[in-house]
A = this chain, B = another copy of it.
């Protein structure tokens, strides 16, 4: 599947990832594949003991592995972190296609927008007035950017991304198709005729080196800015409510939902479908397991699971006992009966 534009060698692979070559330096590498599918002209990687076992049985030609010891007679590139080495090799031999700079004739750039010269703006994209697009940025087909936005240098917006007015995206940040940044926060007050909308007049500020998944939504703030820090990675279909402050190098996996005004500290990792209450302070380096429901503030470094959330270790014990609960309860009723008989 991942075939390089032209064949390379094991030696070139080792050089690209800074690894130590063991075996045939001239072995031809035509592409990278999974261990299951790799053939003699393919590269594959083995990052753990299980994969090393699969590698031994694989027809792979050149292997990225922690050590060549288990693979006598084979060509191995030894690296401390095989997955990271794969990333380096792919970057070197399969560079991403970047559309050539230029504004497609069908793109609409409103008067007053400032677009750097080497930007690529795709077909049918729309860019609003007073917006600034930094050098090397890529706006793919059908992207809609509102007014007073800033898109940093080298940022990439995939097809159908929508930025409302007043959204700022840092350099090198990548946003996948269908994501919406800056839609109105979900803010209402009670009135005699029902709920009345609180105008959402703030914005969204996303740092540099951030990645945001397909169809993810980050709502604009009521007055200030909903913020996402540098290097943070957000998966598909995530919702970040208004006024949230998500730190740097945070990981939000698929379908996570943050209710409004919650802060998430740096390097915290929320697994898939985690939900949080609003107005919470979630610390730095927190880890929450899939579907955890975070209902109150969380200290730095905590590890959580369950709804309502518990420290991971407690949740583990509770769930182990829950499985035995029918048996335990039966025992309780027996004991109660026996006690009653004695009295």
Is there an interface contact between A94 and B126, defined as CB atoms closer than 8 Å? no
A225 within 8 A of B: yes
A135 at the interface (CB under 8 A from B): no
A137 contacts partner chain B, Cβ-Cβ < 8 Å: no
Q: List which A99-119 residues lie within 8 A (CB) of chain B.
A: 106, 108
Q: Is the interface of A mostly helix, strand, loop or mixed?
A: loop
Q: How far is the CB of A314 from chain B (nearest CB, A)?
A: 7
Residues of B contacting A87 with CB < 8 Å?
Answer: 189, 196-199
CB distance from A322 to the nearest CB of B (A): 6
A123 & B126 in contact (Cβ 8 Å cutoff): yes
Contact A237 B235, CB 8 Å, known A1-B223, A199-B90, A259-B290 = no
Contacts of A233 in B (CB 8 A): 186, 188, 195
| Structural contact, B336 and A331, CB atoms closer than 8 A | yes
From known contacts A183-B176, A241-B254, A310-B323, infer whether A189 and B318 are also in contact, taking CB-CB under 8 Å: no
Report chain B residues within 8 Å CB of A123. 108, 126
- Which of A124, A199, A271 has most chain B Cβ within 10 Å? A199
A277 partner residues in chain B, CB cutoff 8 A = 290
Q: How far is the CB of A291 from chain B (nearest CB, A)?
A: 5
Say how far A224's CB is from chain B's closest CB, in angstroms.
5
Q: Is A149 an interface residue (CB 8 A)?
A: no
Copies of the polypeptide in the assembly: 3
The segment out of A7-15, A68-76, A206-214 that lies at the interface is: A206-214
The distance in angstroms between the C-alpha atoms of A217 and B212, with both chains bound, is 13
| A53 within 8 A of partner (CB) | no
Chain A, 174-203, CB within 8 A of any chain B CB: 174, 176-178, 180, 183-184, 186, 188-191, 193-199, 201-203
Contact at A291–B290, with CB atoms within 8 Å? no
Given contacts A160-B180, A338-B339, 17 further A-B contacts (CB under 8 A): A1-B203, A32-B201, A94-B201, A108-B123, A174-B184, A178-B180, A194-B248, A195-B251, A213-B217, A214-B217, A215-B215, A217-B236, A241-B254, A291-B291, A318-B325, A328-B329, A328-B332
Give the 7 A-B residue pairs with the shortest CB-CB distance, closest first. Answer: A194-B231, A183-B214, A90-B199, A180-B214, A217-B236, A84-B189, A2-B201
26 contacts between A and B (CB under 8 A): A34-B224, A83-B189, A87-B189, A87-B196, A141-B144, A144-B160, A144-B177, A158-B162, A158-B164, A174-B184, A176-B183, A176-B184, A213-B217, A214-B217, A215-B217, A215-B237, A259-B290, A272-B275, A273-B275, A275-B290, A291-B293, A291-B307, A306-B307, A321-B329, A328-B332, A332-B332
